[in-house]
Amino acid sequence: MNITAQEAKELMDTQQGYVILDVRAQEEYDQGHIPGAIVIPHEEITEKAEAVLQDKNQLILVYCRSGRRSKIAADALVELGYTNIKEFGGILDWPYEVAP
């Protein structure tokens, strides 16, 4: 379930049909995020995930700022029945492109 930023980038470069999930607050997302990421704040995962992330077998790559909230969100997604969650920590450790 836990992967490195490098492993996440490799999946992004080689896979299709995945979702990059930013679980920070909307304001944090607006200040910069991984290109293509969608935002669902970690405290809203339980209420909003199933409406937004309809395929529970889809590859979902989860990150936050430092790694604490992404771990909480990834655990919540597993409890909701999602089967392909990869949590790769925080954007602070992301050495690649960030979108404004």
Hey, which residues are catalytic here? Answer: 64
| Sign of torsion over alpha carbons 60, 64, 66, 70 | negative
Distance of CA 78 to the CA centre of its chain: 13
Question: What is 28-76 written as a DSSP string?
Answer: HHHT-B-TT-EE--GGGHHHHHHHH---TTS-EEEEESSSHHHHHHHHH
Tokens describing residue 14: 């080689």
